[in-house]
Structure formats: C-alpha cells, structure tokens
Structure 1
C-alpha cells in the first residue's frame, strides 16, 4: 500500500474521519484556522448513491476515475452498472469501505502516479473535492493529464458564489479531536471554478436536489466518433496498480 504524499497525510491520518466512515455517520467538520466549522455530509457519503448521484453518473463516458471517492458509493454504483471505474482516496478507511461495497479503489493522492494516465474517459470531483490541495488550477491541470484528449470532467461546486482558500483540519463533534496539522483546502462556486478552467470547454451546468454541477471537456487533439463500451472490472485484492491494456486502466490483483 502506498503512503499518501506529505500534503495529504493530515486528511489521510485524521482519526475522526476514519471513525466517522467506519460508523457511517458524523458529526464531522472541516475546521478553519480561525475556528469556524464546515459540516461534512458523512451520512450521505456512506449511503448508497441517491437519485441525484445516479443522474450525474448517467453522464459518465467510458472508463471513470472517482477522485476522492470517500466510502465509495459512486464507485459501487458504477461497478454495479458494469462500468470500468476506479476510486482513489488518501484515506485507508475510505478505500476499505469502497472495496467492501464491491468497487475498486487505490489509496492514492490524485497528484501521485496513477494507472491509465492520459486515457480516462471521465473524472469525477464530487462532494467538495474541487477543494483538494487548495489550488484549483493545479488540480485542473492534473486532471487534464489524467483524461484522454476530449475527456470529460464532472465537478460538484458549492451552491453559493464563493472562492475561498483556507487551511483546515478534520474534527469531530464540538471541533474536538482534530489532527494538529492543517492542510490546504478550497471552496468554489460554479463561477469561480469556470474562471480557473482555462483550456477546458464547458459542456454543462445544472442543479439537482440543491446541489450544483459543472461538466467540462478537456481540449482534444483528435476527435472520436463514439465512446468505447463500458467494461466490467474485478474488485482489487491489493492496492498495487498497473495498466492492463491501452484502453482499460484498472487496478491489478
């Protein structure tokens, strides 16, 4: 099992986060350096994919990479549909939960080497994961390198007009039991995300169930007339990864 990079370690080793995922409920928060709290929707993350989730997944093309997959509800739903999908998360508890649901997952940061780089059909940034790393431009650049030319990014944004950078830590009830280390995070509304998405083509913007989404397409060096058919993949038994073929980036046994 790989170790998350130093910038991801505070989240990966946050005991309140791991405990909440294993229990299936919060309360859980991101606490800013000024002491203010942002609630995290642990119960929704640990439940099965809901109608809003499923409507988003209907838009996915080809192979799917769920960045910051958490406890794996989206990975499990796509796998149940017979789609080739991989979740990545820096939290060991999140990866374990995803695998228990029947999905494939690796304990990786999006900024670490990943299987299938440059060949993924769709990348997902759901549940606030546009905030990963606290640098939207760096995150979007990295995703452009992971997707195939013309690949699709579906991102969930904050349902208010916000563009915030902060250093945060994961804490439980009352703001207690947080890890001492702070890590960078971002909160972006749709307008802010689109400002940073230079080099991407906006292909959709919508709201559902009080949640907001944007779809972006990476600039393509060539055009393809059709998406490759979905492929069923097996549950991984370890977290060592390789590319099994030029068209199907999946985790190795």
Structure 2
C-alpha cells in the first residue's frame, strides 16, 4: 500500500522546478532567495550527486545501528551508510531525487518525515544534513519528530549553519541560472546556539559538536 506524500510546499518544488531540472541534467548551482530578496548560500547539486566526502564520513563514523537519512536527495549518504555496514533508508519529498536514487538501486521512499515511516522508534541514527534541519520551517517540531523516529538512546546528527548565531525562519525560493524558480516554501537556518535550545525542547541532548571542511555538525541523543 502506497502512503500519501505530504503535499505542503517543499524544497524546490513547483513553479519552474529548478531542483528537479538540475538533478535530471546532472548538476548545477541553484540560489536560495528568501522573501526579502536576500540571497543565501548557493546550493551545489554536484555535491549532492557525488559520493560522500570527508565531512560526510565524519558523520558516518559516529552513526550507530540502522540509519535513516531524512531529506536524502539523490541518496549519497544512503549509499555511504550501506557501504559502511549500516542498514539504511532514505526518505525525500522530491520525486526527481527519489527517481535518481532508485535508478542507482538505493532504498529510498517518496514521503515526508511527517508521514508514517517504517520502523518508527527503532532507528539507531537519523540524519539531517545539507541544511535539512530547515525542513518545514520549524526546527523544534522537526527535531521532536526525529526523536520519535529513533530508539531510546538513539542519535540524531544535524548539520548546523556555520554561523553559531544564525536563527531565522523564512519563505525561500530556489532559482537556477536560467531564471527558473520554485514555488515559495518554508525553511529555517539555525546555528549551534539556537540548535542547543531547540534540541532540549525536543527531548534531545547535544552530545558532541565538530566541524570539517567549513561544515558544522552536532550529535544529539534521545
């Protein structure tokens, strides 16, 4: 039985579908623009489509048990977790990303983290990388959902914004170099300072933080 996928606006969907177009064409750089017209960091699809890098591997060496990659995109971390010996599953709301992962034979489901997920409460580690702590525009709600998905003592690994003071929600639009734009969707950027507070509110405790190649991570424990 196929479960319904959440239909709320999400990362790069609708409009000119720049995210889907970039995935199908094998890469490209998108820009995330907020509702005030402020341009954020570029979204480099080549990294999503490439193999896991050194920073990604610092996450996997800390992972325990079965790994759930939330907002997995084309599936690089799903593949890397399997290679590292973990049972792994990815979930994503972008049909193009799921299709790309399926073409590689990767176990990825087309659904939202807020929809029913297999093995709820049993995952050893949940991943929120590549800014995916912004999913839904409410980090506390998202982290609380992650706490439901992992087992007692389970881990949630979050990639935080490099600026520890960043703590802002906004409506974002993805735009590519040809001007194709997505529909607006809720998003959030949060650094370590705010993440610590939100984690506690969600029933999680920060066990460790680290950085690698200008990326910042936090390991949370249920």
Query: Does TM-score exceed 0.5, indicating one fold?
Result: yes
Distance in 1 (CA, whole Å) between partners of 2:25 and 2:194 is 34
2:197 corresponding residue in structure 1: 195
Distance in 2 (CA, whole Å) between partners of 1:95 and 1:52 is 23
1:4 corresponding residue in structure 2: 5
Contact 2:10 2:136 survives alignment (8 Å): no
- 2:216 pairs with 1:215: no
Distance in 1 (CA, whole Å) between partners of 2:198 and 2:166 is 13
Structure 1 portions without partners, runs of 5+: 219-253
1:34 corresponding residue in structure 2: 36
Distance in 2 (CA, whole Å) between partners of 1:137 and 1:10 is 18
Distance in 2 (CA, whole Å) between partners of 1:97 and 1:80 is 18
Q: Give the superposition deviation at 1:99.
A: 2.3
Q: Give the superposition deviation at 1:37.
A: 2.2
- 2:79 pairs with 1:96: no
Structure 1 ranges of 4+ moved more than 4 A: none
From 56, 59, 67, the equivalent of 2:59 is 56
Change (3 A) 1:17 1:3: farther
Distance in 1 (CA, whole Å) between partners of 2:121 and 2:13 is 26
Distance in 1 (CA, whole Å) between partners of 2:103 and 2:70 is 18
TM-score (norm 2): 0.91
Distance in 2 (CA, whole Å) between partners of 1:70 and 1:10 is 10
Q: Give the superposition deviation at 1:30.
A: 1.7
Distance in 2 (CA, whole Å) between partners of 1:192 and 1:121 is 24
Contact 2:10 2:186 survives alignment (8 Å): no
Contact 1:8 1:90 survives alignment (8 Å): no
SS in 1 for 2:19: helix
Alignment of 1:168-207 (within 5 A): 168-173=172-177, 176-179=179-182, 181-198=183-200, 199-207=203-211
Distance in 1 (CA, whole Å) between partners of 2:19 and 2:146 is 25
Structure 2 portions without partners, runs of 5+: none
TM-score (norm 1): 0.81
Distance in 2 (CA, whole Å) between partners of 1:208 and 1:155 is 13
Q: Give the superposition deviation at 1:79.
A: 1.7
Distance in 2 (CA, whole Å) between partners of 1:191 and 1:183 is 24
SS in 2 for 1:7: coil
2:171 corresponding residue in structure 1: 167
1:83 corresponding residue in structure 2: 86
Distance in 2 (CA, whole Å) between partners of 1:131 and 1:107 is 18
Query: Number of residue pairs matched?
Result: 216
Over aligned residues, Cα RMSD in angstroms?
Answer: 1.6
